[in-house]
Chain A
Amino acid sequence: MKTLLGLALRSAWNRRLTLGLTLAAVALSSLLLLGVERLRADLRASFAMSVSGVDLVVGARGSPVQLMLYSVFRMGEVSQNMSWASVQWLEQQPGVAWTVPVSLGDSHRGYPVLGTTPAYFDRFRYGDRRELRLVAGRRFEGVFEAVLGAEVAERLGYRLGEQIALAHGSGEGPTAEHSDRPFVVVGILGRTGTPVDRSVHVSLQSMQALHLDWAGGAPIPGLAIPAPMLRKFDLTPKSVTAVFVGLDNRAAVFGLQRAVNGHGGEALMGVLPGVALDELWQLVAVAERYAQLVSLLVVAVGLTGLVAVILAGLNERRRELAILRSVGARPLDIFALLALEGGTLSLAGSVLGAALVWVLVLMLGPWLQANYGLTLASGPPGATEWRLLAGIIAVGVAAGLLPSWRAYRLSLADGMTPRL
């Protein structure tokens, strides 16, 4: 075997250009397959870790997935808000331990603004029930105070005391700025790897104050209330986007959900985060399968190329194989020599592909985090990735047996004098 390994290596080195390109093809196709899987798994993990400890998300009736995407992941939007009266009603329900209302719709330079209560900082959990942590400053207390997510502060280079202007809408396209009422940065949160990093947090009262003299998404002409006067108004919010609800006893969640869904005053819905996520994955699963199918096909193409290259090289190598026969190589040795080549190439190719995934995650991870709030794990491959890797290698080795078999037949037929 050692004899053959040495020969196989030197023979391969002799054809290094062709084999190198083949290796690259196998590596790139493995990269695609493993990368798609990594992205898929991390996307799920990233979503799943974005919210924890919230038992029910309540909002105006509509699509549960949409409400989740908007209120937790700041993606898309919802058409209806729920009234403040309903928030107060919700607080009164038996078994409710806490409620955190959230209000979305404004933005600052593309980053979403989240209006909420100070309880948000106590109640919100992410990942493995981890709490939010301030790395600088304090929570917002009065109006026009903002607490920044880590990404916002880092990207825009904001420090405590900085004045920022919020904009109406998502911040894309023509937006109206609330430049007459700047916010002061009073706190900066530690990094969480969730959409919190990309959010600007303000109080619900600030949000209300911001829109006092606005109607229909634009300032009311001729009605401009100076900022100092605002405090004299009733700043109780009229409506919010959603309410996060925590229960004393999680088992009561279905009872509360029934109560919410049957609430007489306003059409509401209660969404269990886990159930909504499952629903989301069912939607996404089709696209995922498609991506997996395509990447599997690409791997098949890569391995077919590998077999084709080895087979094509076989004719040029018939004399080499005949010489090996004459010095005593058995047909089985010839078989092993080629199987070794195919096996080594698929092994090296797929491992190289896995390494490329790792490099890409390291390179693209920060960008994905900054723009989409998605966290890619740069750790070792997960169970599915190991299985895929093993699968590529197994199929590659099996496919490599085809040229080996042909070489075996040839060396039996040729003996020591190749019939060319």
Chain B
Amino acid sequence: MADTAVRLTDLRYAWPGQARPCLDIETFAVAAGESVFVHGESGSGKSTLLALLGGVLLPQAGSVNILGTELTRLSAAARDRFRADHAGFVFQQFNLIPYLSVQDNVLLPCRFSARRRGRALSRSATLAAEARRLLAELDLEEPLWRRPVTQLSVGQQQRVAAARALIGAPELVIADEPTSALDAARQAAFLDLLARECALAGATLIFVSHDARLASHCARSVALADLQRQAVAA
């Protein structure tokens, strides 16, 4: 099963108090190492999909299988640990914790996951060195590393967030509208960088956006509406 990074089967999720399911997906699979663009309008259930992939939410029915592990069978704490160990996230903006330095923001997953700490240390001698390697890889120059993150531009902040998602080489990188705060030129540059880094790390990339034009940066593109069963899509 290791060649499949994500497999959703007969998944149904409705928000509490709502009769109509927000997501009703017969099947959706992503191969390991693949980069997939998921297109969805605002309110189409994108965030819900990410929460399900991250194990923050559980579906009412169906299966969420990530890297061969059935999330619906895990306890809430085990799902939190699984997320920390195997997934990195990049969000729209305000991705960083304001009171931590650039470097400490990047190292945040290593605080919560021993596995990612171990994997980071297998690449570099120290955690700080690994954080700097990733930051340099993502074109963030050394003078920025010790700055408060609030002094960085949005584009720089997103690259710090990408470094945080990539540290400790998680198998899965999930990006939720990571470019919506960037201008067009920077959007393309950031996405190419993210896709390249994921490919280098061998990570599966799932990139969710309402902006269909960004699809070209990923190998495969799907529309969330097409994943949904007809009843819901209508």
Q: Please, how many angstroms separate the alpha-carbon atoms of A330 and B57 in the complex?
A: 13
Closest residue of chain B to A321 (Cβ to Cβ) is B97
- Chain A CB within 8 A of B109 CB: yes
With known contacts A3-B112, A331-B76, A416-B89, A326–B98 Cβ distance under 8 A: no
Q: Which B residues touch A174, using CB under 8 A?
A: none
Interface residues of A in 317-347 (CB under 8 A from B): 319-320, 323-333
- Chain A CB within 8 A of B176 CB: yes
Taking a contact as CB atoms under 8 Å apart, the answer to whether A330 and B76 are in contact is yes
**Residue among A6, A320, A323 with the highest chain B CB neighbour number at 10 A:** A323
Taking a contact as CB atoms under 8 Å apart, the answer to whether B95 and A323 are in contact is yes
- Chain A CB within 8 A of B217 CB: no
Q: Nearest Cβ distance between residue B110 and chain A, in whole angstroms?
A: 9
Chain B positions 53 through 92: 1 when the CB is less than 8 Å from some CB of chain A, otherwise 0: 0101100000000000000000011001101110001010
Taking a contact as CB atoms under 8 Å apart, the answer to whether A14 and B112 are in contact is no
Taking a contact as CB atoms under 8 Å apart, the answer to whether B112 and A415 are in contact is no
Q: Nearest Cβ distance between residue B105 and chain A, in whole angstroms?
A: 9
Taking a contact as CB atoms under 8 Å apart, the answer to whether B51 and A415 are in contact is yes
Q: Please, how many angstroms separate the alpha-carbon atoms of A3 and B99 in the complex?
A: 15
Contact among A6, A10, A328 with B112 in the assembled complex (CB-CB below 8 Å): A328
Taking a contact as CB atoms under 8 Å apart, the answer to whether B76 and A417 are in contact is no
- Chain A CB within 8 A of B154 CB: no
Closest residue of chain A to B84 (Cβ to Cβ) is A328
Q: Which B residues touch A10, using CB under 8 A?
A: 99-100
Q: Please, how many angstroms separate the alpha-carbon atoms of A326 and B108 in the complex?
A: 10
Closest residue of chain B to A12 (Cβ to Cβ) is B99
Q: Please, how many angstroms separate the alpha-carbon atoms of A330 and B109 in the complex?
A: 13
Interface size class of B (residues with CB under 8 A): 20 to 34
Closest residue of chain B to A15 (Cβ to Cβ) is B99
Chain A interface, number of residues (Cβ within 8 angstroms): 23
Q: Please, how many angstroms separate the alpha-carbon atoms of A326 and B117 in the complex?
A: 16
Q: Please, how many angstroms separate the alpha-carbon atoms of A330 and B82 in the complex?
A: 11
Label chain A's interface by main secondary structure.
Answer: helix
Taking a contact as CB atoms under 8 Å apart, the answer to whether B54 and A14 are in contact is no
Q: Which A residues touch B113, using CB under 8 A?
A: 327-328
Closest residue of chain A to B77 (Cβ to Cβ) is A330
Closest residue of chain A to B111 (Cβ to Cβ) is A3
Q: Please, how many angstroms separate the alpha-carbon atoms of A13 and B97 in the complex?
A: 13
Q: Which A residues touch B84, using CB under 8 A?
A: 327-328
- Chain B CB within 8 A of A11 CB: yes
Q: Nearest Cβ distance between residue B9 and chain A, in whole angstroms?
A: 22
**Residue among A11, A323, A328, A331 with the highest chain B CB neighbour number at 10 A:** A328
Q: Which A residues touch B56, using CB under 8 A?
A: 325, 415-416
Closest residue of chain B to A419 (Cβ to Cβ) is B47
Q: Which B residues touch A13, using CB under 8 A?
A: 99
- Chain A CB within 8 A of B36 CB: no
- Chain A CB within 8 A of B50 CB: yes
Taking a contact as CB atoms under 8 Å apart, the answer to whether A319 and B94 are in contact is yes
Q: Nearest Cβ distance between residue B66 and chain A, in whole angstroms?
A: 14
Q: Please, how many angstroms separate the alpha-carbon atoms of A328 and B84 in the complex?
A: 4
- Chain A CB within 8 A of B205 CB: no
Q: Which A residues touch B47, using CB under 8 A?
A: 417
Taking a contact as CB atoms under 8 Å apart, the answer to whether B85 and A328 are in contact is yes
Q: Please, how many angstroms separate the alpha-carbon atoms of A327 and B84 in the complex?
A: 5
Taking a contact as CB atoms under 8 Å apart, the answer to whether A11 and B99 are in contact is yes
- Chain A CB within 8 A of B7 CB: no
- Chain A CB within 8 A of B132 CB: no
Q: Please, how many angstroms separate the alpha-carbon atoms of A101 and B50 in the complex?
A: 93
Q: Please, how many angstroms separate the alpha-carbon atoms of A6 and B108 in the complex?
A: 11
**Residue among B50, B77, B84, B111 with the highest chain A CB neighbour number at 10 A:** B111
- Chain A CB within 8 A of B206 CB: no
Closest residue of chain B to A11 (Cβ to Cβ) is B99
Taking a contact as CB atoms under 8 Å apart, the answer to whether B97 and A328 are in contact is no
Closest residue of chain B to A9 (Cβ to Cβ) is B99
**Residue among B89, B109, B112, B113 with the highest chain A CB neighbour number at 10 A:** B112
Q: Which B residues touch A329, using CB under 8 A?
A: 80, 112
Q: Please, how many angstroms separate the alpha-carbon atoms of A415 and B54 in the complex?
A: 9
Please give 4 more A-B residue pairs, beta carbons under 8 A apart, in addition to A326-B91, A333-B112. A327-B113, A328-B80, A331-B80, A416-B89
Chain B positions near chain A (C-beta within 8 angstroms): 47, 50-51, 54, 56-57, 76-77, 80-81, 83-85, 89, 91, 94-100, 108-109, 111-113, 164, 176
Q: Provide a sorted-by-A list of 24 A–B residue pairs whose CB atoms are within 8 angstroms.
A: A3-B111, A3-B112, A10-B99, A10-B100, A13-B99, A14-B98, A14-B99, A320-B98, A323-B97, A324-B108, A326-B91, A327-B113, A328-B83, A330-B77, A330-B80, A331-B76, A415-B51, A416-B54, A416-B89, A416-B91, A417-B50, A417-B51, A417-B91, A417-B176
